[in-house]
């Protein structure tokens, strides 16, 4: 569970992941993306779905994202791929008034940092009704298609948006993605998940706080400061 959150009183910049972080993983949006990735690989590389899935997961582990592996090894157009895999049914998420209120009460700048596209992020934020809280979306294109957990895009984000790392916090559902934030001196929060990919390295020193979801984290913080 979340440790004492007094450290959050000093946070001036909140760097928040999008998928399975701002909304709960049981919304199954990632399941749709996963299926579409498999279909894309099968269609464009001429593989059956079983082999396409193996390649998809292999690139995720070796390159940080399936997209990066496809770019490096097959010259896939990243924008075409992102448009294809983000053609989603978003009906499983809707306006989240509680999250909207919690983010509204949260002091400090708020930035989305995602391995997905800006278009996808905007659609999700619009569905949740919380887009107005975020000053920017730092997506995979802004990161020069270098994915989390590489430190280079985090350094780029910090420079581009003048983030003071010791006064920043990062929240992500994939524990390994928190490593660069920790290295730069940020406070880190892992959204606990049953996903084996999300749990990778979750027992490391780079995970400072653990919470079941972002709303629990924020409510715990506000209860302490009330």
What is the DSSP annotation of 182-222? HHTT-EEEEE--S-HHHHTTTTSTT--EEESSHHHHHHHHH
Q: What is the CATH number for 16? A: 3.40.50.1000
Q: What is the CATH number for 72? A: 1.10.150.450
Tokens 């997209």 locate to 67
Q: Do 79 and 179 sit in the same domain of this protein?
A: no
Contacts of 110 (CB under 8 A, 6+ apart): 13, 14, 16, 103, 133, 134, 135
Tens-digit pLDDT profile for residues 31-72? 999 999 999 999 999 999 999 999 999 998 899 889 999 999
Q: Do 111 and 76 sit in the same domain of this protein?
A: no
> Domain tally for the chain?
2
Residue 6 confidence (pLDDT):
66
pTM over 0.85: yes
Q: Do 114 and 209 sit in the same domain of this protein?
A: yes
Residue 221 confidence (pLDDT):
76
Residue 64 confidence (pLDDT):
83
Residue 1 confidence (pLDDT):
46
Q: CA torsion, points 131, 60, 43, 46, in degrees to nearest 10? A: 170
Residue 99 confidence (pLDDT):
97
Nearest to 93 by CA among 121, 63, 139, 127: 127
Q: Do 108 and 142 sit in the same domain of this protein?
A: yes
Nearest to 95 by CA among 22, 160, 191, 150: 22
pLDDT tens-place values along the chain, 226 residues long: 455 566 688 899 999 999 999 999 889 898 999 999 999 999 999 999 999 999 999 998 899 889 999 999 999 999 999 999 999 999 999 999 999 999 999 999 999 999 999 999 999 999 999 999 999 999 999 999 999 999 999 999 999 999 999 999 999 999 999 999 999 999 999 999 988 889 999 999 999 999 999 999 999 876 654 4
Residue 138 confidence (pLDDT):
98
Tokens of 214: 């972002």
The CA distance from 226 to 204, in Å, is 31
* Domain end point (choices 85, 109, 127): 85
Domain range enclosing 187? 6-24+93-225
The CA distance from 48 to 42, in Å, is 6
> In this structure, is residue 1 part of a structural domain?
no
């Amino acid at each position: 569970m979340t440790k004492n959150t007094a450290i959050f009183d000093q946070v001036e910049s909140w760097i928040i992941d999008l998928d399975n972080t701002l909304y709960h993983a049981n919304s199954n949006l990632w399941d749709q993306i996963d299926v579409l990735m498999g279909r894309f690989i099968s269609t464009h590389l001429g593989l059956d779905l079983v082999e396409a899935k193996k390649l998809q997961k292999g690139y995720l582990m070796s390159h940080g994202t399936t997209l990066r592996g496809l770019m490096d090894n097959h010259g896939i157009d990243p924008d075409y791929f992102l448009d294809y895999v983000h053609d989603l049914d978003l009906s499983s998420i809707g306006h989240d008034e509680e999250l909207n209120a919690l983010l509204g009460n949260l002091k400090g700048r708020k930035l989305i940092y995602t391995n997905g596209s800006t278009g996808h992020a905007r659609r999700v934020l619009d569905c949740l009704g919380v887009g107005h809280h975020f000053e920017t979306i730092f997506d995979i294109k802004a990161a020069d298609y270098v994915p989390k957990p590489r430190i280079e895009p985090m350094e780029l984000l910090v420079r581009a948006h003048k983030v003071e790392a010791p006064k920043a916090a990062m929240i992500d559902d994939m524990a390994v993605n928190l490593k660069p934030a920790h290295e730069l001196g940020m406070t880190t929060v892992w959204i606990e998940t049953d996903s084996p990919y999300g749990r990778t390295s979750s027992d490391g020193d780079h995970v400072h706080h653990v919470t079941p979801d972002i709303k629990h984290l924020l409510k715990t913080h506000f209860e302490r400061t009330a």
